[in-house]
Copies of this chain bind each other. A is one copy, B any other.
Amino acid sequence: MLTLLGGSGFIGTAIRRELDVCGLPYQSISRAEVDYTNRSHFREYLRSVQPRFLINSAGFIGRPNVDACERARAECLFGNAVLPGLIREVCEELQLPWGHISSGCIYEGTKPDGSGFTEVDEPNFCFRSNRCSFYSGTKALGEEVLQGAERCFVWRLRIPFGAEDSERNYLSKLMRYERLLDARNSLSQLQEFAASCISGWQREIPFGIYNLTNPGSISTREVTEMMTASGGISKQFKFFSNDDEFYQQAATAPRSNCILDSSKATAAGIGMSPIREALEKTLRKWTGM
């Protein structure tokens, strides 16, 4: 049996689907059922159910977007930096292997030579770089809190997209926003991401951090062109003329746009499909047109 935290969320739902596909039994617990923010309740629960593995897909995200985290600072810090540390302590005490869903949004841009950031590169879009959203700051602190954790996977997701319409789905966001910011990014096909997480645990690859993005990168404009080319979309995508216009009119907190190097995951046998291939396949099944 596996234990899943945050199973009702956008990422958690994809994880549950993957566990079902793999025929892996699990218990998805909500804080109302088991207050896993309370160390002793959480420990007692895990002792009673004895899971083989735990997945933490709980975390604080801003609604409707990351700007909301600039106000809900304490909750954001708690969900993204304190909670992972609490889970770590309890899992280490019980010698329980586990995985934490982190984010690639702790980076900005590319390395000086234009290549993507690897798992050993220091975050450059975090409190320590003094230019970040509060959300990214807390996600990077979450990784600091997990430094040196035993039997722990840190899975970095970046701009999830999937076939089902959802306010959290990147493709749905592109359809809903009036104007878009053109920027180049690495992305994560959500179901492939979930499959890579589970598969890495099943194959017993080494614990540690993994960038789980589809190899390559793509610009917002290119994604919208692929959406239009896939047929059925009549929307005329409009773009901000530059970053300044975007930040003046649509955003408060700085946004991370970055390219990640996913070769460690590929080398470990849990690599995802190239970004354009993943997008084409997803767009064919997409329900949000």
Q: Quote the shortest CB–CB distance from A79 to chain B (angstroms).
A: 10
Q: Quote the shortest CB–CB distance from A78 to chain B (angstroms).
A: 5
Q: Is A284 an interface residue (CB 8 A)?
A: no
Q: Is A44 an interface residue (CB 8 A)?
A: no
A72-118 contacts to B, CB under 8 A, are 73-75, 77-78, 81-86, 88-89
A110-143 contacts to B, CB under 8 A, are 126-130, 137, 141
Cα–Cα, bound, A144→B71 (Å): 10
List the B residue with the shortest CB-CB distance to A147. Answer: B73
Task: Point out the residue from B74, B84, B128, B145 that lies within 8 Å of A82, measured CB to CB.
Answer: B74
Cα–Cα, bound, A229→B217 (Å): 69
Interfacial chain B residues near A89, Cβ < 8 Å: 74
Most central of A83, A84, A126, A130 by chain B CB within 10 Å:
A130
Task: Point out the residue from B74, B84, B130 that lies within 8 Å of A86, measured CB to CB.
Answer: B74
Classify chain A: how many residues form its interface, as a range.
20 to 34
Interfacial chain B residues near A75, Cβ < 8 Å: 85
Interfacial chain B residues near A83, Cβ < 8 Å: 74
Task: Point out the residue from B74, B127, B129, B145 that lies within 8 Å of A88, measured CB to CB.
Answer: B74
Contacts A128-B127, A128-B128, A128-B130 given: A74-B137 contact, CB under 8 Å?
A: no
Q: Quote the shortest CB–CB distance from A39 to chain B (angstroms).
A: 10
Cα–Cα, bound, A145→B137 (Å): 13
Task: Point out the residue from B74, B130, B141, B144 that lies within 8 Å of A85, measured CB to CB.
Answer: B74
Q: Quote the shortest CB–CB distance from A130 to chain B (angstroms).
A: 4
Interfacial chain B residues near A129, Cβ < 8 Å: 130
Contacts A128-B127, A130-B128, A137-B127 given: A82-B88 contact, CB under 8 Å?
A: no
Cα–Cα, bound, A26→B145 (Å): 37
Cα–Cα, bound, A88→B71 (Å): 12
List the B residue with the shortest CB-CB distance to A35. Answer: B38
Interfacial chain B residues near A145, Cβ < 8 Å: 73-74, 77
| Residues of A participating in the B interface, judged by any CB pair closer than 8 Å | 73-75, 77-78, 81-86, 88-89, 126-130, 137, 141, 144-145
Closest 9 CB pairs of A and B: A74-B85, A127-B127, A128-B130, A73-B145, A78-B82, A74-B82, A77-B82, A74-B145, A127-B128
Of the A-B pairs whose beta carbons lie under 8 Å apart in the complex, a sample of 27, sorted by A's number, is A73-B85, A73-B145, A74-B82, A74-B83, A74-B84, A74-B85, A74-B86, A74-B89, A74-B145, A75-B85, A77-B77, A77-B81, A77-B82, A77-B85, A77-B141, A77-B145, A78-B78, A78-B82, A82-B82, A126-B127, A127-B127, A127-B128, A127-B141, A128-B128, A128-B130, A129-B130, A130-B130
